[in-house]
Amino acid sequence: MSATNVFYKVEIDTFESPEHPIIYFRKCKRCKTANGADRQHNRIVNEVIEDWRQFSSKVSRYTISRVPVDVVVHGEVR
C-alpha cells in the first residue's frame, strides 16, 4: 500500500480554538517525478482551500504536509 500511495496531513487552525486544530488525512496515488509531486501538493493545497472557503473568516492557518504511511493508521495520528 505504501509503494503506490502518498498521504497528506491537513491541519486547520481556527481563531476560536487555536490549540486544537482540525486534522485529517488525504490519500493520493504516488507521482513518478518530483515535478509531478510538486503539482500534486499544489493541487491538494488548492482543493483544501476551496473546500474550506465558506469558513475562511474563521480559519487562521492551513498546514498541508506529506507524511509517511506509518503516521496514518486508521485515521489516527501516531
pLDDT digits (tens, 9 = 90+) for 24-76: 999 999 999 999 999 999 999 999 999 999 999 999 999 999 998 888 776 56
Domain boundaries, the chain: 5-67
Residue 59: closest CA among 67, 68, 48: 48
| Torsion of Cα atoms, 56 then 64 then 6 then 32, to 10° | 100
pLDDT at residue 68 in the model: 86
Q: pTM for the whole thing?
A: 0.84
**Cα four-point dihedral sign 30, 35, 40, 42:** positive
**Backbone phi and psi for residue 19, each to the nearest 5 degrees, phi listed first:** -85, -5
